[in-house]
Structure 1
Amino acid sequence: MALYFASLNTGSNGNCFYIGNEEHAVLIDAGLSCKETLIRLNRLGLAIEKVRAIFISHEHSDHIKGLSVISKKYQIPVYITLKTLLNSGLNLSEHLVNFFETDEVISIADLNVKAFAKFHDAAEPHSFVIDNAQKKIGVFTDIGNVCENVSLHFKDCDAVFLEANYDEEMLEKGRYPYYLKHRISSGRGHLSNTKALELFKNHQSEKLRYLFLSHLSKDNNCPDLVYNLFKTHALQTEVFVASRHEETPVFSLD
């Protein structure tokens, strides 16, 4: 059975990723409003009624902004860690809350979702891999540094949404105050183009069909710059830039 996937949005203004098959799907994060999430799903021909669960990576607002409304309105179970929930300020229906542990594999119908720990300045941040026992998709954003977890899971994926947040020179020379520049580049902030490219070059496998460069900074990156940087090293992998303004098309693996 094919896996279908799309980014509904990725960036500091909201993050939400759709992964599913013909019958069932999950969302990774819910950082768009409920209304905007539905608009983008409808434009892609995807039905919210197929979404069986929402998995939350961490408590920052661009990942949870629409969660309470969309979960309650459509009675969608939420998978979240206890620390993330306690630090989120979310008001969720108790019967819809499910806690997961690091490295636990959760089966949602025919989909298997695994959460693994990463570096980020949040209470208990995780990234995810989703598979159907044949193909595997990774959602690796909001990563301060490439750790063993990231590299091991990256080379096992058929498609990856990978953070390439900032160009180091643009960040250094840009208008951000020092504390914010330090937070972004600290190793618990976001992944630079350079570090993302090193991961790609060192750990891409022959099975990696799609790479979606994600969570680009509005002020400290350029879609054309980062696309050309990765395209040079892409080999068999198709490279795309996922937008902070609109959804990607729906892609499939079968």
Structure 2
Amino acid sequence: MSLQITSLNSGSNGNCYYIGTATEAVLIDAGISCRETERRMKRLGLKMDIVKAIFISHEHSDHIRGLEVLSKKYSLPVYITTKTMLHGRLNLHAAYVKVFDDTAPIPIGDLTVHAFSKAHDAIEPHSFMITHDGIRIGVFTDIGVPCTNLIHHFKQCHAAFLEANYDEKLLEQGRYPFFLKKRIRGGKGHLSNTQALEVFKLHKPSYMTHILLSHLSRDNNKPELVLDLFRPHAGRTQVIVASRDVETPVFHISATPQTVTPVITYVQGQLAF
């Protein structure tokens, strides 16, 4: 038994993550268009008819841009907090809105989704851990600081999408105005490469097989920089940089991996070993 995971897109231009079995799946965020979501899933051999729900982390446009069309076209329930829906100014069919909080896990068929709060400059931001048959997948992006919630859930994951948004030097020397730099690194913005690495080094469980470094900044990061940081510490864990332009391959995550996997990356849409 395994879970299939892929990043359909990851970055400030749109975020959408797929986690599922052979018969049912969920999307975490819907920040690219419905048409582009369909195209990328088709290229990967994934079918929309097994997607059973969409979970929304927060109201920023790069996480909800394609939500209304996607939900309406496929009659998909949307798990979202009340404040996130209001602040996102979303026009969702009432029958599809499923309000959640972080007090109880949410069953979606044989999948279970655990939501927890995080530090980000949104009204009610959440991250998610998806479980099935003892396999645990984390989606941890748009995080200002490695809080206790993040660490608690990261320690349990067989695979995770972990934000590595910016390189400190590139951000400091870059073209962004001071107020935006302050927002990004101010504790409710995004994780830097080195912050993400510390989470990985200190809290990675021995059985973690895949880490997908996510939400890289176009202007303040480079795939090769974050890979150079992570590669010496990867060990048995496969390291992938999730692209802001194309989907990653589908990775099959098992609770009992049998072989040591190589370290690979996704750089500018090309798979490189």
Write the distance in 2 (CA, Å) between the matches of 1:139 and 1:51: 17
Identify the residue that residue 138 of structure 1 maps to in structure 2: 138
Are 2:201 and 1:216 equivalent residues in the alignment? no
Write the distance in 2 (CA, Å) between the matches of 1:108 and 1:72: 19
Identify the residue that residue 237 of structure 1 maps to in structure 2: 237
Identify the residue that residue 46 of structure 2 maps to in structure 1: 46
Write the distance in 1 (CA, Å) between the matches of 2:204 and 2:21: 25
Identify the residue that residue 33 of structure 2 maps to in structure 1: 33
Deviations 1:194-251 (A, max 9, x none): 1111111110111111001000000000001101101111111111100000000001
Post-superposition shift, 1:133? 3.0
Identify the residue that residue 92 of structure 1 maps to in structure 2: 92
SS of match in other structure, 1:179: helix
Post-superposition shift, 1:134? 1.3
Identify the residue that residue 191 of structure 1 maps to in structure 2: 191
Identify the residue that residue 18 of structure 1 maps to in structure 2: 18
Q: Which amino acid aligns with 2:172?
A: E
The alignment covers a number of residue pairs equal to: 254
Q: Which amino acid aligns with 1:113?
A: V
Write the distance in 2 (CA, Å) between the matches of 1:205 and 1:115: 20
Write the distance in 1 (CA, Å) between the matches of 2:172 and 2:115: 33
Write the distance in 1 (CA, Å) between the matches of 2:150 and 2:169: 25
Choose 119-128 or 130-139, whichever is displaced more.
130-139
- Give unmatched runs, 5+ long, in structure 2: 255-273
Write the mapping of 1:152-163 to structure 2, written as runs, cut at 5 A.
152-163=152-163
Write the distance in 1 (CA, Å) between the matches of 2:143 and 2:86: 21
SS of match in other structure, 1:232: helix
Identify the residue that residue 58 of structure 1 maps to in structure 2: 58
Deviations 1:147-186 (A, max 9, x none): 0000110010000000000000100000000111011011
Write the distance in 2 (CA, Å) between the matches of 1:33 and 1:13: 11
SS of match in other structure, 2:129: strand
Pair 1:161–1:103, CA change in 2 (3 A) = farther
**TM-score, with length taken from structure 1:** 0.99
Identical aligned pairs, as a percentage? 60
Q: Which amino acid aligns with 1:73?
A: K
Write the distance in 2 (CA, Å) between the matches of 1:233 and 1:51: 35
Identify the residue that residue 79 of structure 2 maps to in structure 1: 79
SS of match in other structure, 1:160: strand
Deviations 1:6-61 (A, max 9, x none): 00000000000000001000000000000100000000000011100000000000
SS of match in other structure, 1:128: strand
Write the distance in 1 (CA, Å) between the matches of 2:12 and 2:104: 27
Identify the residue that residue 111 of structure 1 maps to in structure 2: 111
Write the distance in 2 (CA, Å) between the matches of 1:34 and 1:103: 31
SS of match in other structure, 1:176: coil
Write the distance in 2 (CA, Å) between the matches of 1:103 and 1:136: 18
SS of match in other structure, 2:233: coil
Write the distance in 2 (CA, Å) between the matches of 1:133 and 1:88: 34
Q: Which amino acid aligns with 1:230?
A: F
Write the distance in 1 (CA, Å) between the matches of 2:238 and 2:42: 26
Identify the residue that residue 270 of structure 2 maps to in structure 1: none
Write the distance in 2 (CA, Å) between the matches of 1:112 and 1:49: 19
Write the distance in 2 (CA, Å) between the matches of 1:204 and 1:222: 23
**TM-score, with length taken from structure 2:** 0.92
Identify the residue that residue 2 of structure 1 maps to in structure 2: 2
Superposed CA RMSD? 0.7
